[in-house]
């Protein structure tokens, strides 16, 4: 399975903070989530490329704001993971201040893909991310990932439970099941990206 827009992705640049980011124009979707949740893996599957974003078994692999350009107007952005150092720390403090600034001030940023391991979604820092994005009005789409590690029943229960919470407390967020391993949920994820990227499928 391929998508004509995302398969064109090429590495553009890495920035430590907002002031080093490319010009703030067009459409961007960033991938956030706990370290090791599978952000970089999802980016590779969504762009049909084996090693566009670097993946690793070692948490904390991604340390900069990494831009992957799709066309002159659009980019996907791989963000460093949070939560591998300490729990119960304010997510803004835990992350580099530059990263918080990128999320709060970037005009091109149209939506955040929030990756959560389907086996333990809604960890304290995930909840903080949902609170924060709600506060600043940034739309979120949760990928409940590593769905291949769950039974069909466990997966639908996890999704149902999450959707209930989102409906109640986080109307700016939607959710789906996803697996980079067996490519489950790819079409649904592309549909959401297309919407944020203002991309009309021909």
Ligand X SMILES: Nc1nc2c(ncn2[C@@H]2O[C@H](COP(=O)(O)OP(=O)(O)OP(=O)(O)O)[C@@H](O)[C@H]2O)c(=O)[nH]1
Q: Shortest distance, CB of residue 41 to ligand X, whole angstroms?
A: 3
- Closest to Mg ion by CB, 95 vs 199, is 95
For 28, list phi and psi in degrees, rounded to 5: -135, 145
Q: Shortest distance, CB of residue 97 to ligand X, whole angstroms?
A: 18
Planar angle of CA 127, 19, 46, nearest 5 degrees = 55
Q: Shortest distance, CB of residue 101 to ligand X, whole angstroms?
A: 19
The number of C-alpha atoms within 13 Å of 160 and in the hemisphere containing its C-beta is: 6
Q: With CB cut-offs between 5 and 8 Å by kind, which of Mg ion, ligand X, none does residue 56 bind?
A: ligand X
Going by C-beta distance under 8 Å and a sequence separation of 6 or more, which residues neighbour residue 160?
none
Which residue's Cβ has the minimum distance to ligand X? 81
Nearest to 124, CA basis, from 159, 88, 148, 80: 88
Integer distance in angstroms from the first to the last C-alpha of the chain? 16
Q: With CB cut-offs between 5 and 8 Å by kind, which of Mg ion, ligand X, none does residue 146 bind?
A: ligand X
Contacting residues toward Mg ion, per CB under 5 A: 39-40, 61-62
Q: With CB cut-offs between 5 and 8 Å by kind, which of ligand X, Mg ion, none does residue 145 bind?
A: ligand X
Nearest to 193, CA basis, from 19, 34, 45: 45
Contacting residues toward ligand X, per CB under 6 A: 33, 35-41, 55-57, 59-62, 80-81, 145-146, 148-149, 179-181
Q: With CB cut-offs between 5 and 8 Å by kind, which of Mg ion, ligand X, none does residue 41 bind?
A: ligand X
């Amino acid at each position: 399975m391929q998508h004509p827009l995302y398969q064109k992705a090429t590495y553009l640049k890495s920035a430590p903070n907002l002031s080093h980011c490319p010009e703030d124009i067009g459409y961007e979707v960033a991938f956030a989530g706990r370290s090791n949740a599978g952000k970089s893996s999802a980016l590779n599957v969504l762009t049909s490329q084996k090693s566009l974003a670097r993946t690793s078994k070692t948490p904390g692999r991604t340390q900069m704001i990494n831009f992957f350009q799709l066309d002159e107007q659009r980019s996907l952005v791989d963000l460093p993971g949070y939560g591998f150092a300490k729990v119960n720390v304010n997510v803004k403090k835990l992350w580099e201040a530059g990263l918080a600034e990128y999320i709060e001030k970037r005009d091109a940023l149209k939506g955040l893909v929030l990756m959560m391991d389907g086996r333990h979604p809604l960890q304290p820092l995930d909840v903080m991310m949902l609170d924060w994005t709600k506060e600043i009005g940034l739309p979120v789409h949760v990928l409940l990932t590593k769905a291949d590690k769950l039974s069909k029943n466990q997966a639908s229960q996890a999704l149902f439970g999450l959707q209930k919470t989102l409906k109640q407390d986080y109307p700016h967020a939607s959710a789906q099941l996803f697996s980079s391993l067996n490519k489950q949920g790819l079409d649904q994820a592309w549909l959401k990206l297309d919407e944020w990227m203002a991309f009309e499928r021909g």
